[in-house]
């Protein structure tokens, strides 16, 4: 009976050993192995290999986890990183003096934006390196993207036109923000430099524009009419300021037209 069955392939032998073979084929493979000693020997050697691997590495599982890998320890590092970012933004604010311009006068406490810049820079770093799936909705569906993000976020989400500074809309995605949904838009230049615009509900109505840098990445952030904006990109401050200014101006214009 078995010899009328389809011969067993090498893939099936692997699948058999790894328990990936459909149940109804298992007995066929077992029958095959009883009459094909070379295949039976291969299967035996793969199982022995697994045993040696486990014998060699399973002891790691029982070692005490080093302190530096404890989650509590890592969370603390994260807070340190956060404080570092705030310190950097304060420093930039003081050193930069007049370069940040006053939007509407109010000055937010540094903590207002800690969640924002942190989330925005994390999202920036996470997605700018993505080649295949940087966004959920591509930039050629701009109208759909804007409508979708506006509906989910609850404020008017517009993807600004940044072509004048050489940036094309790659697309956007929805992210969880500090107090609710956040919109995340990505732009790219012909040379591959990527900028992202992150917006989420802010606790402060309006603030002036600030700059912060973290390793290779920089961010300009501000709040306007209860919405916080973070424009992230390479830490070239002038270039970033130019892009942020365009984003700011267009949001301003859209709001004036809208209300």
Partner 1 sequence: MIPALRRYARALARDADIADDLVQDTLVRALRSERLFLGGDVRSWLYTILTNLNKNRRRSLARRPQFMPLLENNPDASGTEAESRDIARALSTLVEEQRAVLLLVMLEGLSYREVADIQGVPIGTVMSRLARARAHVKASLEGERAPLRRVK
Cα angle 61, 65, 66; round to 5: 140
Q: CA dihedral in degrees (243, 84, 192, 129; nearest 10)?
A: -130
Among 5, 35, 37, 54, binds partner 1 (CB under 8 A): 54
Buried b or exposed e, range 143-152, using 16+ CB within 10 angstroms: eebbebbeee
User: Does 49 participate in binding partner 1 (rule CB under 8 A)?
Assistant: yes
95 near partner 1, judged by CB under 8 A = no
* Residue 148 tokens, joined: 């979708």
Say if CB 157 and CB 199 are below 8 A apart: yes
Which residue from 38, 58, 72, 215 is in contact with partner 1, where contact means CB under 8 A?
58
The reply on whether position 257 binds partner 1 by CB under 8 A is no
The residue from 8, 85, 108, 123 that contacts partner 1 (CB under 8 A) is 123
Surface-to-core class of residue 190, CB atoms within 10 Å of its CB (0-12 exposed, 13-18 middle, 19+ buried) = exposed
**Could you give the string, one character per residue 156-195, with x where binding to partner 1 holds by CB under 8 A and - elsewhere?**
-------------------xx-------------------
Retrieve residue 72's tokens: 């509590």
Residue span binding partner 1 (CB under 8 A) among the ranges 7-15, 85-93, 141-149, 187-195:
7-15
Stretch of residues binding partner 1 (CB under 8 A), selected from 8-16, 99-107, 157-165, 193-201:
8-16
Q: Is residue 24 a contact residue for partner 1 (CB under 8 A)?
A: no
Scanning the structure block, which residue is given the tokens 């999202």? 123
Q: Which is nearer to partner 1, 20 or 236 (CB)?
A: 20
CB 220 within 8 A of CB 244: yes
- In angstroms, the Cα distances linking 24 to 1, 5, 9, 14, 16 are 15, 12, 15, 16, 11
**Site for partner 1 (CB under 8 A): how many residues?**
38
Contact residues for partner 1 (CB under 8 A)?
10-11, 14-15, 18, 20, 42, 45-46, 49-50, 52-58, 60-63, 65-66, 68-69, 71, 74-75, 77-78, 119, 122-123, 126, 132, 175-176
């Amino acid at each position: 009976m078995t010899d009328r069955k389809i011969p067993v392939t090498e893939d099936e032998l692997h699948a058999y050993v790894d328990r990936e073979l459909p149940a109804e084929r298992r007995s066929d493979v077992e029958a095959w192995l009883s009459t094909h000693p070379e295949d039976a020997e291969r299967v035996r050697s793969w199982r022995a290999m697994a045993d040696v691997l486990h014998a060699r590495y399973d002891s790691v599982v029982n070692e005490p986890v080093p302190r530096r890998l404890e989650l509590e320890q890592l969370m603390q590092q994260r807070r340190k990183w956060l404080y570092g970012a705030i310190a950097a933004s304060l420093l930039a604010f003081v050193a930069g003096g007049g370069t940040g311009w006053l939007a509407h006068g109010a000055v937010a406490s540094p903590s207002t934006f800690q969640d924002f810049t942190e989330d925005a820079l994390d999202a920036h770093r996470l997605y700018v390196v993505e080649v295949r799936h940087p966004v959920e909705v591509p930039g050629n569906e701009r109208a759909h993207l804007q409508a979708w993000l506006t509906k989910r976020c609850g404020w008017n989400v517009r993807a600004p036109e940044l072509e004048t500074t050489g940036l094309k809309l790659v697309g956007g995605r929805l992210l969880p923000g500090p107090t609710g949904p956040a919109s995340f838009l990505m732009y790219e230049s012909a040379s591959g430099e990527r900028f992202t615009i992150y917006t989420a509900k802010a606790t402060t109505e309006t603030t002036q524009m600030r700059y912060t840098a973290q390793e290779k990445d920089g961010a300009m952030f501000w709040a306007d009419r209860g919405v916080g904006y973070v424009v992230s990109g390479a830490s070239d401050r002038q270039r970033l300021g130019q892009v942020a200014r365009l984003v700011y101006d267009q949001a301003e214009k859209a709001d004036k037209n809208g209300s």
